[in-house]
């Protein structure tokens, strides 16, 4: 089945910019969902097709608690099937269109697997992890790989919170000892917002939600006895993004790919996925198919 390109309406773009998120149901064909989802468990079992390890990795079978949330970032370098979605020009086009960019390059991909009993994930903003990059502006396409339910730790967002004036810093997100919403309360108080309300997004498999990089979001505990929440996310930067000078902003993951003495972002690590002019990093065609062109 061939993926039909999504044509975003002016109303949808306006909604994204006002609310900080946009939901698209039935975005991916379930055959694509199953193909990507089938690669996740082997990756957590250290079966890396390319021999390259991910950038970040939490929740390892046999080493972590059975209820631990499993998370992995930078998976496109480990597995070409995963890369076929992470490097899709279609996802990048939608991210860029919503943000008003002329093009988009990959920042990272990630998956989150929350089994029954999995603890909370602290509220956070994705832009905070990219403080070493200029502009510090990302859009994330968060895709449900399983049917969401209100009890299985759905993604929670705070509409309009991307417009708050508040400070933030990069921190560990997993299984917080404090209330997983504490950082949200602190940010809201700083922004002068009284009692912010979060919205739980429980969407069916194959649906997605686009997130502004400044939108506050997190997830609660999975209180179901038998449902695992599985999701996959693709985060992009503007095509013209560059590193800030060394020492500017935290760069836990991303600054390791900075060339010494340069601010240019290497397309081997941050490939150009889509531009209005039709540009795309040349090595991608040899590396993998595009899941949404060859679906």
What's the pLDDT tens digit per position in 47-105? Answer: 999 999 999 999 887 777 889 999 999 999 999 999 999 999 999 999 999 999 999 99
Which DSSP string corresponds to 122-177? EEE-GGGGGTTEES---EEEEEESS---TTB--EEE-TTGGG----------BS-S
What's the pLDDT tens digit per position in 151-177? Answer: 999 999 999 999 999 988 777 788 888
Please check whether residue 166 lies inside any domain of the structure.
Answer: yes
Residues 6+ apart with CB under 8 A from 78: 43, 48, 49, 50, 52, 53, 54
Chain center to CA of 68: 19
pLDDT of residue 167: 85
pLDDT of residue 84: 98
pLDDT over 60 at 206, yes or no: yes
pLDDT of residue 252: 79
CB 235 within 8 A of CB 133: no
Please check whether residue 2 lies inside any domain of the structure.
Answer: no
Please check whether residue 14 lies inside any domain of the structure.
Answer: no
pLDDT over 60 at 268, yes or no: yes
pLDDT over 80 at 38, yes or no: yes
pLDDT of residue 97: 98
pLDDT of residue 172: 78
Please check whether residue 6 lies inside any domain of the structure.
Answer: no
Q: Higher pLDDT residue, 141 or 245?
A: 141
Please check whether residue 178 lies inside any domain of the structure.
Answer: yes
Please check whether residue 83 lies inside any domain of the structure.
Answer: yes
Instruction: Print the domain residue range for 116.
Output: 19-275
Query: How sure is the predictor about 2, in pLDDT bands with cuts at 50, 70 and 90?
Result: low
Dist. CA 80–CA 88, nearest whole Å:
12
**Residues 111-149, buried b or exposed e (16+ Cβ, 10 A)?**
bbbbbbebbbbbbbbbbbbbbbbbebbbbbbbbbbbebe
CB 84 within 8 A of CB 65: no
Both tokens of residue 258? 């900075």
Please check whether residue 93 lies inside any domain of the structure.
Answer: yes
Q: What Cα–Cα distance (Å) separates residue 162 from each residue in 124, 186, 191, 216?
A: 11, 15, 11, 7
Which CATH number do you get for residue 142? 2.60.120.620
pLDDT of residue 191: 96
Percent of the chain with pLDDT over 70: 98
pLDDT over 70 at 126, yes or no: yes
Both tokens of residue 244? 């800030």
pLDDT over 70 at 6, yes or no: yes
Q: How many domains does the chain have?
A: 1
Please check whether residue 294 lies inside any domain of the structure.
Answer: no
pLDDT over 60 at 1, yes or no: no
Query: How sure is the predictor about 11, in pLDDT bands with cuts at 50, 70 and 90?
Result: very high
CB 78 within 8 A of CB 48: yes
pLDDT of residue 66: 86
pLDDT of residue 29: 95
pLDDT of residue 277: 97
Rounded to 5°, the CA angle 67-71-75 comes to 145
Report the chain's C-alpha Rg in angstroms. 18
Percent of the chain with pLDDT over 90: 85
Q: Higher pLDDT residue, 12 or 252?
A: 12
pLDDT of residue 20: 98
Model-level pTM?
0.96
pLDDT of residue 7: 95
Dist. CA 111–CA 38, nearest whole Å:
12
């Amino acid at each position: 089945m061939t993926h039909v390109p999504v044509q975003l309406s002016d109303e949808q773009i306006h909604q994204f910019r006002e609310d900080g998120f946009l939901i698209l149901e039935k975005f991916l064909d379930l055959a694509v969902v199953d193909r990507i989802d089938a690669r996740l468990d082997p990756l957590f079992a250290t079966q890396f097709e390319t021999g390259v390890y991910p950038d970040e990795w939490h929740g390892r079978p046999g080493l972590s608690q059975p209820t631990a949330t499993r998370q992995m970032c930078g998976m496109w370098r480990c597995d070409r099937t995963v890369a076929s979605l992470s490097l899709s020009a279609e996802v990048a086009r939608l991210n860029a269109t919503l943000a008003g960019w002329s093009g988009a390059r990959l920042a990272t991909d990630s998956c989150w697997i929350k089994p029954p009993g999995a603890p909370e994930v602290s509220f956070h903003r994705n832009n905070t992890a990219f403080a070493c990059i200029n502009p510090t502006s990302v859009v994330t396409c968060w895709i449900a790989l399983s049917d969401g339910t209100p009890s299985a730790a759905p993604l929670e967002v705070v509409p309009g919170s991307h417009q708050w004036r508040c400070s933030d810093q990069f921190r560990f997100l997993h299984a917080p000892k404090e209330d997983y919403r504490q950082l949200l309360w602190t940010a809201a108080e700083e922004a002068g917002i009284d009692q912010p309300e979060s919205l739980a997004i429980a969407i069916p498999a194959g649906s997605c939600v686009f997130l502004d990089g400044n939108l506050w979001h997190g997830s609660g505990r999975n209180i179901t006895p038998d449902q695992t929440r599985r999701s996959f996310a693709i985060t992009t930067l503007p095509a013209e993004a560059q590193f800030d000078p060394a020492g500017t902003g935290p760069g836990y993951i991303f600054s390791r790919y900075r060339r010494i003495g340069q601010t240019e972002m290497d397309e081997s690590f941050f490939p150009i996925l889509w531009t209005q002019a039709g540009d795309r990093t040349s090595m991608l065609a040899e590396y993998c198919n595009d899941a949404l062109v060859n679906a």
